[in-house]
Amino acid sequence: MSLKNFGKAALLVAVVAACGKNRQQVTENGLKYTIHEQSEGTRKGKVGDILTLHLTLMNNKDSVLRDTHKEGAPFQMLLQVPPFKGSYEEGLTMLGKGDSATFYVSADSLFTRAMQPLPPGVQKGTDIGIAVKVVNVQTEDEYKKTQAADMEKQKGIDAKVIENYIAKNGMAGKAQKTESGVYYVVTQPGSGPTPQKGEVVQVHYTGKLLDGKVFDSSRTNPQAGGKPAQFQLGVGMVIPGWEEGVSKLHKGEKATLIIPSSLAYGPRGNQAIPANSVLLFDIELIDIQKGQAPQPGMPQPSR
């Protein structure tokens, strides 16, 4: 083949490949999708891999229901066998690092499988658009190693942030530090006992970011109804920073806990808490009881 003809052939291949992008297609199982970017040489996701991705959920009128770009951290998931025909897990196996696509999934199937009601703005019988940008594809072992390295790095960052906060807010000499890095400042001493593992504690709390913004409080949370939060200590019902901080307090005591992100919500955060946030909790330990706890209050561990 002459160079001239080779050039024409290469151009034809490029045109054909481009035609597959930004055009809605359908798999044999009924998943509707549009590929935006797809590199041939990248490793594609497979069942058992951990995917890190940004996603935007849209209803059939293109109104955005969720956008992880605005949440401060990408979404991470274990890629599982597609739970129903037309589920977007099938489409994720087409994508590798840097690839992007939009999948159109039956809202009825998606939310029924998750045992959730249709959210506001989503009508029965319509499709949910899931726009995906893959940040990384890792095996479980690769993911764990990356997580461990990132967490160790973040511990150093959090330690400096907390030290600076304590210095700027006149807490030097008042703040006590636990072995794992939780700081607590007693603001009103208590004379009662400290809680032991397995006991049920009742606490009032107000959770804040370091800039003072309140993200939750047992006194105003409608789910709590103004009542103290209750949880059993030492069984993983709340974030680790709470477990350790509350165990240092005496009944009747008030204190401020300063919790590094690794013992709070870590790199995932949540809708109210940005990723890798050091958190403040004003805590009042109201009561300590024996026996099994009722439903736990906030803040529950991030899963």
Place of tokens 């481009």: 18
The pLDDT, as a whole number, for residue 162 is 96
The pLDDT, as a whole number, for residue 75 is 86
Is 8 part of a structural domain of the chain? Answer: no
Q: Are residues 244 and 202 in the same domain?
A: yes
Instruction: Mention every residue, 6+ apart, whose C-beta is less than 8 A from residue 149.
Output: none
Give the mean model confidence (pLDDT) for residues 58-75: 87
Q: Which residue has the higher pLDDT, 174 or 116?
A: 174
Q: Are residues 92 and 123 in the same domain?
A: yes
Describe the chain by its helix, strand, coil percentages, rounded to 5: 25, 30, 45
The pLDDT, as a whole number, for residue 224 is 72
Q: How many domains does the chain have?
A: 2
Is 38 part of a structural domain of the chain? Answer: yes
Q: Are residues 50 and 111 in the same domain?
A: yes
Q: Are residues 27 and 61 in the same domain?
A: yes
Burial annotation 216-241 (CB, 10 A radius, 16+ → b, else e): bbbeebeebeeebbbbbbeeebbbbb
Radius of gyration over every alpha carbon of the chain, rounded to an integer in angstroms? 25
Q: Which of 75, 84, 165, 215 is catalytic?
A: 215
Q: Are residues 37 and 121 in the same domain?
A: yes
Going from the C-alpha of 214 to that of each of 169, 204, 210, 244, 272, the distances in angstroms are: 18, 14, 9, 22, 9
Is 132 part of a structural domain of the chain? Answer: yes
Give the residue from 116, 138, 160 where a domain finishes: 138
Instruction: Mention every residue, 6+ apart, whose C-beta is less than 8 A from residue 12.
Output: none
Q: Which of 127, 216, 231, 288 is catalytic?
A: 216
Six-digit token string for 105:
């999934």
Q: Which of 103, 128, 265, 288 is catalytic?
A: 265
Is 297 part of a structural domain of the chain? Answer: no
The SS3 assignment for 74 reads: coil
The pLDDT, as a whole number, for residue 4 is 41
Q: Which of 35, 281, 283, 286 is catalytic?
A: 281
Cβ atoms of 207 and 279 closer than 8 Å: yes
21 pLDDT more than 80: no
254-259 and 183-188 beta bridge pairing: antiparallel
Give the residue from 138, 167, 194 where a domain finishes: 138
Q: In the annotation, is 127 catalytic?
A: no
Q: Are residues 110 and 200 in the same domain?
A: no
Q: Are residues 110 and 168 in the same domain?
A: no
Q: In the annotation, is 205 catalytic?
A: yes
Give the mean model confidence (pLDDT) for residues 152-170: 95
Instruction: Quote the mean pLDDT of the chain.
Output: 86
- Is the pTM of the predicted complex or chain greater than 0.85? no
The pLDDT, as a whole number, for residue 5 is 40
Q: Are residues 181 and 105 in the same domain?
A: no
DSSP secondary-structure letter at 96?
Answer: B
Which of 2-6, 57-61, 213-217, 229-233 comes out lowest in average pLDDT? 2-6
Is 16 part of a structural domain of the chain? Answer: no
Please choose, from the candidates 59, 80, 69, the residue with its C-alpha nearest in 3D space to the C-alpha of residue 135: 69
Q: Are residues 80 and 41 in the same domain?
A: yes
Q: In the annotation, is 88 catalytic?
A: no
The CATH number covering residue 39 comes to 3.10.50.40
Amino acid at 189: P
The pLDDT, as a whole number, for residue 77 is 93
Place of tokens 């006590």: 176
| pLDDT tens, position by position, 244-268 | 999 999 999 999 999 999 999 988 7
Q: Are residues 181 and 283 in the same domain?
A: yes
The pLDDT, as a whole number, for residue 45 is 94
Q: Which of 50, 130, 239, 283 is catalytic?
A: 239
Give the residue from 112, 138, 164 where a domain finishes: 138
Which domain does 249 fall in, by range? 150-289
Is 87 part of a structural domain of the chain? Answer: yes
Is 177 part of a structural domain of the chain? Answer: yes
The pLDDT, as a whole number, for residue 129 is 95
Is 9 part of a structural domain of the chain? Answer: no
Q: In the annotation, is 75 catalytic?
A: no
Q: Are residues 174 and 119 in the same domain?
A: no
The pLDDT, as a whole number, for residue 18 is 46
Alpha carbon distance 270, 68 (integer Å): 10
**Cα angle: 148, vertex 153, 154; to 5 degrees:** 95
Q: In the annotation, is 265 catalytic?
A: yes
| pLDDT tens, position by position, 275-290 | 899 999 999 999 999 8
Q: Which of 33, 104, 143, 205 is catalytic?
A: 205
Q: Are residues 187 and 274 in the same domain?
A: yes
Q: In the annotation, is 239 catalytic?
A: yes
